[in-house]
Amino acid sequence: MCRQAWRLASAGAISYHARFDTNRNVQVNKAFVKDSDGGGDDGDEELAPALRLPPGSKNYMTRRGYEALRAELEQLVRVERPKLVETVAWAAGNGDRSENGDYIYGKKRLREIDRRIRFLIKRIESADVVDPERQQGLEQVFFGATVSFCDLDTDAEQTLQIVGVDEADASQGRISWIAPLARAVLKARVGDVVRFHSPAGVREIEITAVAYG
């Protein structure tokens, strides 16, 4: 059944990149979120392997993923951080800080928020936004594509979208563009058979559909 791949109408193949204005809506002074306890600079070496960008690569991101990061940043800067600063200031006035649970927890949470804000600013500023809806290489797999394929060993079918490292969520059918599977299917077309190394060993899959938007 897998080898009877159905075809899609398609156009020429180039990927579209559109950079968004990172200064729109949320403007954050980086000094504002410096870790007062001398924390690190939140470089990629501190991230989980799945979130580390390959050296010298662009930080590709879909528009949806970009807007999600901006929304999180705005929520942290405009809502959560100011509220927490008030709580910490209130707790600081309630006696010995070394034994003040509210103060200690508040300061710890404030450092976590500031670290996350720095990370979001860095990711947003480096984002190279790719709009799948304006993708022109409809017959091939590029960033932002939703790819359906069939495992030739098990006959199991699956559909996944290739997205940025900060958007990946396997439970929602989204995988990072740096994942082995995403790299393996790059530039593939409907009907192509692709082999790649997975944690379970070498797999062979057939592309059954490629869509954008």
Of 102, 130, 158, the last residue of a domain is 130
In a domain, 37, yes or no: yes
Q: Is the model's pLDDT at 20 over the cut of 80?
A: no
Instruction: Say if residue 126 is in the same domain as residue 150.
Output: no
Token pair for residue 72?
A: 């999180």
Task: Determine the 3-state secondary structure of 191 from DSSP.
Answer: coil
Is position 9 within any domain? no
Beta strand 174-176 with 157-163: parallel, antiparallel or unpaired? parallel
Same domain, 119 and 142: no
Chain segment 71-113, per-residue pLDDT in tens: 999 999 999 999 999 989 888 887 666 667 788 888 999 999 9
Q: Is the model more confident about 45 or about 172? A: 172
Q: Check which CATH number belongs to the domain holding 105 and give it.
A: 1.10.287.180
Judged by average pLDDT, the poorest of 5-9, 72-76, 208-212 is 5-9
pTM of the model as a whole: 0.74
Residues 124 and 54 in one domain: yes
Domain count, the chain: 2
Query: Of the residues 88, 110, 130, which one is the last residue of a structural domain?
Result: 130
Domain ends where: 79, 114, 130?
Answer: 130
Interatomic CA distance for residues 167 and 188, integer angstroms:
22
Give the range of the structural domain holding residue 188, as residue numbers without chain letter.
132-211
Contact present, 26 and 73 (Cβ < 8 Å): yes
**For residue 39, is pLDDT > 90?**
no
Is 62 part of a structural domain of the chain?
Answer: yes
In a shared domain, residues 81 and 66: yes
- Is residue 1 in some structural domain? no
Q: Is residue 78 part of a domain?
A: yes
CATH of the domain at 173: 3.10.50.30
In a domain, residue 137? The reply is yes
